[in-house]
Amino acid sequence: MAKRPVVQLRTDVSCQAKVVHALATTLLRPVMISGPISAWSMPFFGLLEAAAGLRRRPKWATYDPVKLDGFDAEWIRAKDASDDGVVLYFHGGAFLMCGIATHRPAVAAISRASGLPALSVAYRQLPKVSLPGSVADCLTSYRYLLSQGYAPERIVFAGDSAGGHLAFATALKAVAEGLPTPAGIVALSPWLDLDCETKFAHPNSKRDAYAPVQRLPRLVHMLTDGVVPTDPLLSPVNHDLTAMPPSLLIAAEGEMLRCDSELMAERLAAAGVPVTLQIWEGQVHAFAAMYGVMPEAGRAIREVGSFVRRTIGADLVAARKAS
């Protein structure tokens, strides 16, 4: 009998989450639907990262920049974080926008929840590189961690939206190049299947608070350099997943990309990979990365921290050090 994924429902919805959902639907969704994605508009997407860089950083963590091969990264270490392991984080943003600054509070919270440092990666995005270029940067960051002495069984990949895609794509690329797989993967509202038709046919295509399915074909065209039909192996869900590590997938109940998480969970389980899928009601796409905006983001990050520590056995390591 085929194995089934562990599916967990989170049904409590805070007042803050209801407000965020309403604002996203009424204000953000019209902009996301009508705003152009073109060579002249893409430079403006960087304004979001620039604005986020002006925010006050959480004082309970330290931040140390790293220069890698053609891109930047940042070590984020919460107070009292140990070196039992590390979280390698890939930010979301549709491969077009966001970066270290936009996701700094969430990654700092993951460091605090897991008790481990995190390396946040500003991989190259469109229009500089297409999808393989982003994956190559993420694999470089993994090689960097290995060169710093981190054992693969002490490294967990994590990411939201496009970053969730990169978490799995990087692990698959590592296997293809003969590198060891990480200890685990966390994917928050991940985009894992570039087949747009599945999203158009799903009821959530009309229910998503702000992520419009209409924009996906254009993005896929850009990500794949206009190759039609798109190579199925650019979608992590279509790979042989038997070498993948234990995984945690978190998705909003009404988001467009929920079907990607469900499909990946089914295929991971069928491949014999331990996987937990959490479906959270009343939330928006990538809500778990919106730390400080709504309490559900903090609760989801605590779930991530618990998964990371269980996966690398950090609690056991701490107990042995104390004995």
Task: Write out the catalytic residue numbers.
Answer: 161, 255, 285
10, 280 contact by CB (below 8 A): yes
Positive or negative torsion for Cα 143, 148, 154, 159: negative
Place of tokens 């496009």: 162
187, 196 contact by CB (below 8 A): no
Show Cβ contacts of residue 56 under 8 Å, excluding neighbours closer than 6 positions. none
End-to-end CA distance of the chain: 43
Spatial distance between the Cα atoms of 21 and 34, rounded to a whole number of angstroms? 19
Q: What is the identity of the amino acid at 178?
A: G
Query: 114 burial class (0-12, 13-18, 19+ CB within 10 angstroms)?
Result: buried
Spatial distance between the Cα atoms of 15 and 296, rounded to a whole number of angstroms? 10
- Show the tokens assigned to 237: 């869900």
Q: Which of 256, 275, 273, 135 is nearest to 193 (CA)?
A: 256
DSSP reduced 3-state for 173 = helix
